[in-house]
Structure 1
Amino acid sequence: MRWLPANTSIDLHSHTLPSGLIYVQGGACDIFEPSAINVDLEVSSPKSALGLELPYWPAYAFITPAQRGAYLEWLANGRRDANPATRNFGYLFLFFYGLERRVLIEKDYAPEIGHEIANLVTLYAPHGRSKSLPSYFCQLLHFWAHRQGESRYAELWPWILGLEQGVVDEDELHLILGNLATRGERAPAEVAREIAYHDPDAVRSNVTTRSPEDFRRMFGERFAAEFPHGLALQPGSRPVRIRYRPASSALRDPADSGELDAITQFAEIPAAERTRLVALWNECCRSLLGYMRAKARAVGKSVDLATLAALPSELRRSEAAGPAAQLAEFLTTAAKDGDFHFSTAAPLFAFFGEAARDTYTLTQSRNLAAALDTLGWQIEPDPRHHSASLAAEQEIVLFRGADASLSPDFLGHCGAVQLAVFIAGADGSFDLRENEVISLLVDHSSVSVHERGRLRAWTALLNRNQDSAPASVTKIAKAVPAEKAQAVAQMLCRIASADGIVTKTEDRALQRIFKALGLSAALQDEFERYLAGFGEAQVTTAEPEEPGEPIPGATPATSTFTIDRERLRQLTAETREVIHILSVAMAEAEPTATAEPSNPPTGVAPDYPSRVPPAALVAAAIPAWCATLPPMYAPLLVRLVAQSDPWPRAEFDAAARAANVMPDAAYSAINEWADDTLGDFLLVGEDPVELQRELLSHDARTQNQTA
């Protein structure tokens, strides 16, 4: 038996094998090597081998002549197929057995061997039904690299780890960690990801395989933020022996089992580091799972509200570019004032494919804000912070920026600005000096830069239309506790008098708020006396005017007039306390969220055709295999499994309504349960809807035969 090195050509049975890396023998041999090509054995046309499966442990000597012909033809074609999916993996393993012997027993570490293994994994692994091929092939790659020494292995394992279809089992992970520990290095993101994957406390989610590139990108960015210097490793005091698991039956009981061992430095991750790492992994899985579920429900939509709302920040650059450009074009028709764009809510919801309605749900409203955030825009009022749903005709303001956490008093700042705008705009317009008072509230020392931008947008919106606020000033005032009302009233008086004049319309606005605050008569009189010092000249309008000289009005302000700085100082001192009071009041004053659309009343016959009798759905017993599904959706799923699919979308919707559940909610709930319980979505497609029955247990699959 002889070995043909890489690129060594040989002619066998009318085939020219140009690439080498094979064993060839003639006649009997003392060593049984399954991959060895015995030139004396019969070979026939490979066409008759079509459809013939190779044995689990194939050997060239024991396969049929036609299968030998198919194997030699594959070798003659450079071990490549135009359509890799057509290749029976038994032929790849037959070739691979020879590489195992060459590396492990004969200690040949030629670079061509490693590169050929990697090429075969990349080309063929995507077409396999199991992980056997990438698992065995990558295991040999690691041993091939590790046996060349720690320095050489340090150069090669990142390349192996980066293979598109690569697989890292726990043994190979020990080799990598040992190499890092020996060199005194920390684990980078790609190694930390494998550590987390193998940790028993890490969640198991198919998002890591369904969308591997997205998961790698997300994990990498979050890992860099959490572990900027890499993951710490703690070298052990003893070496660890790693046993190779051969694919070849000829190496499963070698004369010297030590031939298959690898020795490396033991390394472990400190407990605290491991806990943080697993938490990071779990959070990445949850984030990507929510996005993928939303994406699955949005089949056929070019722009979808829920999908963009669930898009993790790490994926925005690649996924949001198209919708962002579309939104920028859309906003060219919106009203604009400086950096602020204004639009009613309905056109924005329509842009994201949402059906028109008078008032949107809180979930829809929050999704709108989140989707716009994904595209680089913020809105006020933001339902994520104000906890109030949006009405179709409600005007909102859009401005560039990224969302950030807000202080607990942010709503209080909004309330203070809203009350100030109400007072300052009572006479129909803002005075420059009144704007300075509002700017004092916006630029208060307790306001962060991010909140300042939001408050400026909020002020611009209220300046256009005070009805755009989720709660009226009267509601806000009524929500202020009685014992805190005086402080709020006092601040409003300071605002009204900051320019030295309190107009009649401003006075009436104040009286309206005083009434809503529930001030006592004594306090109202006290504030009236305070405001009287800033009033306009009094005129009587109840009786007809007598002829004579006109009563002089208020003395006009000169060009050198400035705001009373003492009142501003007092206002600044009072603002922090009042803002805290208003934060609580705003939370109570803003309207509760619009309820999600309710189900049709029980007992009302649906006006649509259906294969599913409503009574049968209600009465259907819930079997054990779907006992963990939310009970309201179980009867529908039981009936779907009992019926033959696919289901036209109209019939699926009819079945859902007959079960008194919303179709989209049922589709989503069943798939979320299936993803967590069965490992994948059970319902696929929008129209028709199909069941992935292979995910179900035998009891569930046979239900349609007994139902």
Structure 2
Amino acid sequence: MSDRTFLRLVLGTFGVCVGGLVFVFFCHYWETAVTFTSFFLIVVIAVGIKYRVSLTKWFQEWQRSRAVSALRASSAAMGRHTLRTIQPQQVGIPLQGSLPTDRISFWGPGTSLDIGRGLLHDPLVYAITGVLSEPFDPSLIEAGLPVGSPGTLCAEDLPYRQSYRECSPQQRAVYLAWLTGGRQDPSVPVGYVFIYFYGLERRVLVDGQDHNAVVKELLRLLPIYGRSHSFRRYASGLLWMAIWLATDHGGVSVETLKQARSLTASWDDNVLATALACLWKQSIPLPSSLAYTVAGIDPRCPRSVVTTRHGDKFRKLFRRKYKALFGSGLALQVSKRARSLEYRAAGAALARLQVTNQLLSHRHLPNVLGITKQFKPLVDLWSECIDELKTFDRAQQVSGTEAMTAVTYEALPKELRTGDHPEFDQWWQLKNQYADEAGWTIAPISAVAQLKGIQGAPTLTKRQCMQLLCTADAIGLGIEPDLRLTGRKYRWDDRVSIFLREEEEKQGEAASYVAAATLLCLGVRIAEADGTIDTRELAYITEHIEEQFDLSPGYTRRLEHLRHLLVTTPSDSADLVRRLQKSLNVEQRRLVGSFLVSIAVLDQAVTEGELRALRQTYRLLDLDPVELDSLLSSGGAASRTDDPVTIQQASPSGRSGEEIQHKAKAPACEVFALNMAAVSRIRLETKEVAALLREAMAVTAELDEDDLPSARTGPGTDRSLGVMISSQGSTTAVLEPPVEGAAQELGERFRPFLDAVIASQTWTRQELTAVARQHNIMLNGAIETINEWSQERFGDWLIDDGEPIRINVGLLKNEES
């Protein structure tokens, strides 16, 4: 409906109402006239209220369209303007070129303009012959205005609102020289660049044309004149506005968007909202650079000094983690309610239109920022980066130097580590020193500990173990066994396998690896019980583990090095069996025992050493030895004979240790006729072992509070890092406090409980649980910690967790004596 039709409708309705009222009045129907008029007015008011929003919008659109139409008409190529006479006091001569007579023209891409000072290619300027009586646009080149001689130098300052009309002839000469020079002289005052910029602004916002050409030109100007904060801010705003308006005409290329993001250094709320709308319109995921900007303005993101103190590192860490988490980027969503398209104009003429709400007020923008929940992962990622850099910040503050030390290198997130670890050469030399001809490295843990300055001790603390493992991780080496997987601290005389970690170990596979390593350790224990490991037994163990556990290449390589360590180095798996006894129920332990039996009977014979190892394992698993005999016997019962058992001679294996010597006469012992059908059934049943161990053996080596240095260790100690950092930045191990008595090694948390426990040699579980509650500790955790300590110190458990619970106080008495 046109505006004229609407006005006619309104006036016609009003006339009918008035005419009807007059007619009824003169017909002496006063009451009927009032009723009719009131009803009609009520209907009109109701319709007006119901459609008031639509009517208001229509009226505003009508006003705006008239204003924009007037603007476009004033800048049309065919528009005619009144010319004025040049003032005689102005020094200079008018331009002599090929401009059209008294017509404003925009010379866009693909055109050439002769202004008498040289030929301009792709000028992107407004120009006219003569001088207008009224100003049109600050960028308009009015050829009738006097211009100084070519090569004129001008020391005059440009006015705040620069315009070609208000410039002096010398200033016009400088501006025209900049245009003919390709608009690329970085030494020209930025005011001249703004005169040119006003024309680009008008062409995009008022004429609505040449969006891609203006985008290309702004991308060229920003690197040259971006040093000006004002120009950078205005140019960035126009750049993204032009990109958004270009989406109605085919849009811009992905490469252009990428270049625009890299050149935009100032992101206010409007520019960011426009950029996000452009990405959404072209179905482009949120890139890492804009993700960082969005998170930076989100009020939910925490503020920390590390974001400013280590700004470059924080930005790199956030972007790398974002790419690792989201790949190509986060898919954007828009709110149902659009936001108004806002722009802050630089030119005076457009600024006046903006004040009167006549510039772009009829356009709207998809509101990507309106759905804040889609950016919640960015908030979490921001917090995670702050937490990771806090450790590095503390390490650097304690070291007192910006030089990269071993401590600061290891505290740095792995995404930011560049170059080799400061201790790389020492570790690599150690690895090569203990490597055999096949490339396997089996080294004493004491040699590894000395690299970190750790002094000799029967057992390393968990903090010291973690120091070794963290340094190995940072260098790219693996140590097997690993305390973080086994939960067992290193003894000074332990030997470990050191290997190069070529593949990353998948997260979430630790439980599967621990289960596989458990079966491997138990299997090797039984297989080597006769003095040597049969190749068939080792192949069976390996095949069973590979079949049941689908480990990643990283964990598979770790398992290979553990197997080599077990085969070449004597080991004691008693602690491992005891842990199984606590973690598994009776039926699950029986499955583990059946798996070990299936290994021993691969050669269809059980040697004396294998039988002894099986019985010891069954005893540690708290299983009835009769069940073992039933598995080994034909028909389920053991038969006895006086014939001696033939003990197989141990074959040379190339590993340390003694072979079992052949005996001429052996005492009478048990011989079992194996039921191989039952053995086959056992092998099928033991497939369940993998699943149950995967759940039961998920051990995480957590640092005990008592293994951490106390707050009394001095100001040079960082509790979070567990090292002493000297003023020169070198690192030394944190020394443990002096020990007064064996029980003090437990720490303050468990010593009072131990003092109460050793008062009696037997306890019921209910009684001991009450004692544990009095000391604010958990009974099972306390028993495990005390037994781990006593095993390392005395070689046996102090607390026998049965019913009743027995305390081996003799261990402490022997220590005192």
| Distance in 1, Cα, partners of 2:489 & 2:231 | 53
| Distance in 1, Cα, partners of 2:562 & 2:551 | 15
| Distance in 1, Cα, partners of 2:348 & 2:488 | 67
Q: Is the 8 A contact 2:514 2:699 kept in 1?
A: yes
Pair 1:402 & 2:500 matched: no
| Distance in 2, Cα, partners of 1:478 & 1:631 | 33
The equivalences for 1:111-126 within 5 A come to 111-125=212-226
The equivalences for 1:258-407 within 5 A come to 258-261=358-361, 263-264=363-364, 266=366, 275=373, 277-279=375-377, 282-283=380-381, 286=384, 290=388, 306=409, 310-312=413-415, 335=435, 355-357=452-454, 361=464, 363-368=466-471, 370-371=473-474, 380-386=480-486, 394-398=496-500, 400-404=502-506, 405-406=508-509
Which is worse superposed, 525-534 or 252-261?
Answer: 525-534
SS of the residue corresponding to residue 429 of structure 1 reads coil
| Distance in 2, Cα, partners of 1:106 & 1:591 | 69
Q: Is the 8 A contact 1:203 1:282 kept in 2?
A: no
The equivalences for 1:41-440 within 5 A come to 78-80=182-184, 92-109=193-210, 111-125=212-226, 127=227, 132-148=230-246, 150-153=248-251, 155-156=252-253, 159-163=256-260, 164-166=262-264, 170-171=269-270, 186-190=283-287, 193=291, 201=300, 219-220=322-323, 222-224=325-327, 230-231=331-332, 236=336, 241-254=340-353, 257-261=357-361, 263-264=363-364, 266=366, 275=373, 277-279=375-377, 282-283=380-381, 286=384, 290=388, 306=409, 310-312=413-415, 335=435, 355-357=452-454, 361=464, 363-368=466-471, 370-371=473-474, 380-386=480-486, 394-398=496-500, 400-404=502-506, 405-406=508-509, 408-439=511-542
Instruction: Decide which of 678, 683, 690 is 1:566's aligned counterpart.
Output: 678
Match of 1:460 in 2: 564
What residue identity is the alignment partner of 1:104? L
CA-CA distance at 1:408 after TM superposition? 3.5
CA-CA distance at 1:430 after TM superposition? 0.9
| Distance in 2, Cα, partners of 1:362 & 1:302 | 20
What residue identity is the alignment partner of 1:116? E
| Distance in 1, Cα, partners of 2:407 & 2:577 | 39
Match of 2:135 in 1: 31
TM-score, normalization: structure 1? 0.59
Q: Is the 8 A contact 1:426 1:506 kept in 2?
A: yes
SS of the residue corresponding to residue 341 of structure 2 reads strand
SS of the residue corresponding to residue 363 of structure 2 reads strand
| Distance in 2, Cα, partners of 1:67 & 1:364 | 69
CA-CA distance at 1:103 after TM superposition? 3.2
Q: 1:388 to 1:208 in 2, by over 3 A?
A: farther
Match of 2:38 in 1: none
The equivalences for 1:552-631 within 5 A come to 564=676, 566-567=678-679, 569-574=681-686, 576-577=688-689, 580=692, 584=696, 587=699, 595=707, 601-602=713-714
Instruction: In structure 2, list runs of 5 or more residues that go unmatched.
Output: 1-103, 633-637, 649-662, 731-817
Q: Is the 8 A contact 1:114 1:144 kept in 2?
A: yes
Q: 1:402 to 1:213 in 2, by over 3 A?
A: closer
Q: Is the 8 A contact 2:338 2:365 kept in 1?
A: yes
What residue identity is the alignment partner of 1:536? V
CA-CA distance at 1:463 after TM superposition? 1.6
Which is worse superposed, 432-441 or 592-601?
Answer: 592-601
Q: Is the 8 A contact 1:219 1:281 kept in 2?
A: no
CA-CA distance at 1:598 after TM superposition? 6.5
SS of the residue corresponding to residue 138 of structure 1 reads helix
SS of the residue corresponding to residue 210 of structure 2 reads coil
SS of the residue corresponding to residue 396 of structure 1 reads strand
CA-CA distance at 1:442 after TM superposition? 1.4
SS of the residue corresponding to residue 394 of structure 1 reads strand
Q: Is the 8 A contact 2:138 2:164 kept in 1?
A: yes
SS of the residue corresponding to residue 499 of structure 1 reads coil
| Distance in 2, Cα, partners of 1:293 & 1:493 | 50
CA-CA distance at 1:117 after TM superposition? 0.9
| Distance in 2, Cα, partners of 1:466 & 1:591 | 28
Instruction: In structure 1, list runs of 5 or more residues that go unmatched.
Output: 540-548, 555-560, 607-629, 634-648, 655-707
TM-score, normalization: structure 2? 0.52
| Distance in 2, Cα, partners of 1:55 & 1:383 | 73
Q: Is the 8 A contact 2:442 2:495 kept in 1?
A: no
| Distance in 2, Cα, partners of 1:151 & 1:122 | 26
Q: Is the 8 A contact 1:409 1:580 kept in 2?
A: no
With a CA cutoff of 8 Å and minimum separation of 6, indicate the structure with the bigger relative contact order. Answer: 1
RMSD in angstroms over aligned alpha carbons? 6.1
| Distance in 2, Cα, partners of 1:447 & 1:527 | 30
Q: Deviations 1:573-600 (Å, cap 9, x if unpaired)? A: 2464587469757839999699566777
Q: Is the 8 A contact 1:366 1:382 kept in 2?
A: yes
CA-CA distance at 1:474 after TM superposition? 2.3
What residue identity is the alignment partner of 2:216? H
Instruction: Decide which of 472, 475, 499 is 2:575's aligned counterpart.
Output: 475
Match of 1:620 in 2: none
Q: Is the 8 A contact 2:339 2:366 kept in 1?
A: yes
Q: Is the 8 A contact 1:499 1:564 kept in 2?
A: no
Which is worse superposed, 204-213 or 358-367?
Answer: 204-213
| Distance in 2, Cα, partners of 1:10 & 1:322 | 64
SS of the residue corresponding to residue 258 of structure 1 reads coil
SS of the residue corresponding to residue 430 of structure 1 reads coil
Instruction: Decide which of 632, 635, 645 is 1:536's aligned counterpart.
Output: 645
Q: Is the 8 A contact 1:309 1:371 kept in 2?
A: no
Q: Number of residue pairs matched?
A: 563
What residue identity is the alignment partner of 1:415? T
Q: Is the 8 A contact 2:113 2:119 kept in 1?
A: no
CA-CA distance at 1:420 after TM superposition? 2.0
Q: Percent identity?
A: 21
| Distance in 2, Cα, partners of 1:288 & 1:96 | 41
Q: Is the 8 A contact 2:105 2:126 kept in 1?
A: yes
What residue identity is the alignment partner of 2:264? G
Q: Is the 8 A contact 2:301 2:379 kept in 1?
A: yes
Q: Deviations 1:638-684 (Å, cap 9, x if unpaired)? A: xxxxxxxxxxx986979xxxxxxxxxxxxxxxxxxxxxxxxxxxxxx
| Distance in 2, Cα, partners of 1:322 & 1:9 | 64
| Distance in 1, Cα, partners of 2:551 & 2:341 | 56
